[in-house]
Every structure is written in C-alpha cells, then in structure tokens.
Amino acid sequence: MHNPQLNARGELTHLLTLEGLPPDVIRTILDTAHPFVSIAEREVKKVPLLRGKAVFNLFFENSTRTRTTFEIAAKRLSADVINLNIGSSSASKGETLLDTIDNLVAMDADIFVVRHSQSGAPHLIAQHLTAHGRKHVHVVNAGDGRHAHPTQGLLDLYTIRHYKKSFRDLTVAVVGDILHSRVARSLIHGLTTLGTAEVRAIGPRTLMPERVEALGVRMFTDMRLGLAGCDVVVMLRLQSERMKGALLPSPGEYFQYYGLTQEKLAQAKPDAIVMHPGPMNRGVEIDSPVADGERSVILPQVTFGIAVRMAVMSMIASAA
C-alpha cells in the first residue's frame, strides 16, 4: 500500500507518523540531523536550505518545547516563520481547519507544522493538499491527539543513539501513561522499526492500551521488575487532560508505584539514561533528584529536537 508520507521516489514528503516509515528513512533523518547539532557552536547558526520558504506553525494545543524548537529550526534553515495565533485566528469564529489551510496556502505556505487535539488532523490536511494539487506543500505532525508525535519520537531515537550508539542490544523501558501517550506510540514504533532488542511498557493496567503487546513490547505492571537491567528509561507524563473518569487512585499513590526515584532507578543498569519528553510533573512521575541527576538526559533531548526538526524540514522541502 502507498505510504502517504513518501513520494513516488520513496522520499519523505510529509511526516505524519513513524508507524510504517521504512527503517532507512528513519536512519536518514537521524543521520541528516547529526551535522545540525554542531551548528549551535558556530558564530553564524544559519544555513540557507529553506531560504525563501514559509513555515507556518499551527498549534491548536499548547506547547513549549515543540513549537519553540520548530521555530528555531526553521529560522536556522533561513525560512520565514509564521506562528499563527490560533486563539485570535478565524478558527475561533467557526472557520474549518481546511478552510484555514486553503487561506494559508493562498499566502504561499510551503510547510505546515500542525499540533491538534484531534488524532488524524495532520493526515487530513496532507490528503486535502494532495487532492487539490498542492503536492509542493508539506505537513509535519507536531502531535495529534493520542495518535502520534513523530518528531518527538525521532528526537528520542536520536538521543538514545547518541548515548548508546546502537539499538540492537538495548533494553528500553517506557513508563507511565502509555494509553494516552502519542509520545510513547511514536517512540515504540521507532524503536521496534530500528530493531531494538527489547522494548518494555511499564504502568498500571488502567493506563495500558488493549493488546499493548501487539505493538511489539513486553508489558510490566511492576515497575521494579520492568526496570531490571534496562539501558534506557523513558518516563511519561500523566495525560490528565485526556483521561475520562478515574483511572488512578491519586497522584501520591501513582508516585509510590510508578514514580521514578533513585531507589527504583537502581534496578536499571548503572549506566542507564533517564529521559522524559516534558512537560514534567515532579513528584508525580519523576522525583527531582532523578530529573536533575547525572543520568538524566532530559535537557539534551530538547537540544537534539532542534537538529532533528531541521533534518525533517530540510528533507521534505527537498523532496520533488
């Protein structure tokens, strides 16, 4: 079946999800990001790869890291960046998403970076652009509902590869609210596609998707057992805004069983790294001494996110 993210030559033209993306495409994105990491050390931090292009940031949900790093990435690629203020846009007057898109295309948009609470919104935009002969306009999913957050998955993969070199011998634990987490879904798809030896999903049953093993993971409800011998521990935020009804007794009890403390982290390998996509809830899913400790790579994740987003935008813009 045709992958809507790839053109006829197999080049990345939209980034909508890591599910079904060929491993060589994922590796190419990570390899393309690599030289962009060191650009931050240069006096002039810009390259002309997107000169003359317009990147529209459309964030229908709040964001600190993703929106800002997309903006920095686009500016480092020399693009013009337009951050649509959704609260004061005509979306608040009842304009449909696709009418908004058509109007922005009429303003010569080249790339849309879209975050939306509805799963599938970026796919819908990409389909609409293709159906209306706008193949030169590209869509990057910056997080849709609980479905996917592919650039977060890619920056997580980049971070793991940076610290651990290869995925082949790794055991990676993803801990917490997997049910509502687009970050977990994208990372798990990326890890399994790149041949990670073992991916574990750790959390209470109420926060696990049905048939979670079908994603290629081993499920653990006991955090200490799940962390035993891990190389990488990825903590997730409790997505309270997406929970319907009471799935948890209380944040305090959650922390007791699933909060990452130094004592629980001692089950993992001594050189295990700790990751978190942010925003963090200290004292709910992670203890401050761990979040700020020497095994935490949470802030390097954010920095790598700029390079990974530069890689994605430069690749899709160069696809014919």
- Name the residue with tokens 């993703």: 66
100/152 with CB nearer ligand CP:
152
Q: CA–CA separation, 204 vs 175, rounded Å?
A: 9
Judged by CB under 6 A, the chain residues 139 through 158 that form the site for ligand CP are 143, 152
| Min separation Cβ 59 and ligand CP, Å | 8
Judged by CB under 6 A, the chain residues 253 through 292 that form the site for ligand CP are 277-279
Whether cis (ω within 30° of 0) applies to the bond prior to 209 is no
| Min separation Cβ 65 and ligand CP, Å | 4
DSSP state for residue 9 in the 8-state scheme: T
| Min separation Cβ 4 and ligand CP, Å | 23
Size of the site for ligand CP (CB under 6 A): 9
Q: CA–CA separation, 57 vs 83, rounded Å?
A: 5
| Min separation Cβ 277 and ligand CP, Å | 4
252/279 with CB nearer ligand CP:
279
Residues in the chain: 320
| Min separation Cβ 278 and ligand CP, Å | 5
Q: CA–CA separation, 16 vs 14, rounded Å?
A: 6
Q: What is the Cα 95 distance to its own chain's centre?
A: 28
152/196 with CB nearer ligand CP:
152
User: Which residue has its beta carbon closest to ligand CP?
Assistant: 66
- Buried b or exposed e, range 111-141, using 16+ CB within 10 angstroms: bbbbbbeeebbbbbbbbbbeeeebeebbbbb
150 neighbors 113 (Cβ within 8 angstroms)? no
122 part of the interface to ligand CP, by CB under 6 A: no
Q: CA–CA separation, 62 vs 236, rounded Å?
A: 17
64/288 with CB nearer ligand CP:
64
| Min separation Cβ 249 and ligand CP, Å | 26
143/259 with CB nearer ligand CP:
143
Judged by CB under 6 A, the chain residues 37 through 76 that form the site for ligand CP are 63-66
| Min separation Cβ 292 and ligand CP, Å | 18
CA atoms within 13 A on the CB side of 9: 7
Residues that bind ligand CP in the complex, under the rule CB under 6 A = 63-66, 143, 152, 277-279
